[in-house]
């Protein structure tokens, strides 16, 4: 069996003396996709931040492409292939869309034509400054800019939060295309559990800093009792 693309082994992590994650292990294979679910404040974003190296690792290890990156600073993990799309987006406001996309680009599958095909709105706005975009367009730009670094795996922290329904639909279609058609490996934290499960192959549920449940995404989507217990999602009421 081939090594996982991204692996976290018995991870204990937190802020100062506060332990947020305790004994977390997960693995994402090449071309795989993982949804990270749970209520607010249970450690989902901390898990992503730990993978990227922004949170202190107290125990365990993080592996990327068979390499232990546990002691690497975040910028070196990014160069090693971890593509990070934070909630804050962090686009360059005084650069055009196209300048944002090319500023940190690396050679590979994802280049301008490819990301413009994925996000037609960005092609239409390519001469606009970053601060002239709507929130949804900025989110598209944040994802596209990270894709242009041609990462081994994409890490998305609540990419649909607070966006208009039409933008959510466009972003959902783009993430589905990345994962299903392009084989882009990704880890997705998303409050909309139903959407997250529809977009991914596998899922974990975080509860009080530990993994309380693991399942194939399609199976968990049908398991209303578990979703109600850990996520508070009642599909019958929707």
- What are the E-state strand segments in 1-48? 6-15, 18-28, 33-37
* Whole-number pLDDT of residue 147: 96
CATH number assigned to the domain covering 6-81+152-237: 3.40.50.300
* Whole-number pLDDT of residue 237: 39
Q: What are phi and psi of 122, to 5 degrees?
A: -70, -35
* Whole-number pLDDT of residue 2: 64
* Whole-number pLDDT of residue 236: 44
* Whole-number pLDDT of residue 87: 87
Q: Measure CA 18 to chain center.
A: 24
Q: Measure CA 79 to chain center.
A: 17
* Whole-number pLDDT of residue 233: 57
- Location of structure tokens 């966006």: 163
Ordered mean pLDDT values, 10 residues apiece, the chain (238 residues): 87 93 96 95 94 95 96 95 92 95 93 96 96 94 96 96 92 94 94 94 96 96 92 55
The angle that helices 165-176 and 135-147 make with each other, rounded to 10 degrees, is 10
CB 190 within 8 A of CB 160: yes
Segments making up each domain of the chain, as ranges: 6-81+152-237, 89-148
- Location of structure tokens 């490996």: 185
pTM: 0.92
* Whole-number pLDDT of residue 16: 87
């Amino acid at each position: 069996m081939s090594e996982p693309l991204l692996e976290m082994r018995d991870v204990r992590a937190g802020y100062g003396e506060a332990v947020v994650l305790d004994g977390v292990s997960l693995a994402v294979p090449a071309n795989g996709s993982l949804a990270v679910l749970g209520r607010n404040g249970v450690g989902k974003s901390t898990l992503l931040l730990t993978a990227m190296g922004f949170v202190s690792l107290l125990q365990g290890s993080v592996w990327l492409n068979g390499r232990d990156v546990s002691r690497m600073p975040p910028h070196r993990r990014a160069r090693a292939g971890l593509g990070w799309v934070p909630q804050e987006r962090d686009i360059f406001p005084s650069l055009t869309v196209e300048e944002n996309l090319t500023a940190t680009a690396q050679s590979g599958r994802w280049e301008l034509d490819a990301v413009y095909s994925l996000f037609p709105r960005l092609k239409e706005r390519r001469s606009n400054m970053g601060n002239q975009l709507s929130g949804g367009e900025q989110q598209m730009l944040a994802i596209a800019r990270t894709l242009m670094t041609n990462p081994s795996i994409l890490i998305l922290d609540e990419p649909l939060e607070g966006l208009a329904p039409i933008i959510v639909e466009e972003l959902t279609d783009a993430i589905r295309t990345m994962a299903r058609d392009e084989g882009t490996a990704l880890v997705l934290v998303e409050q909309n559990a139903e959407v997250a499960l529809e977009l991914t192959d596998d899922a974990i549920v975080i509860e009080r800093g530990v993994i309380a449940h693991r399942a194939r995404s399609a199976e968990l989507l049908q398991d209303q009792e578990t979703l109600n217990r850990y996520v508070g999602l009642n599909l019958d009421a929707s």
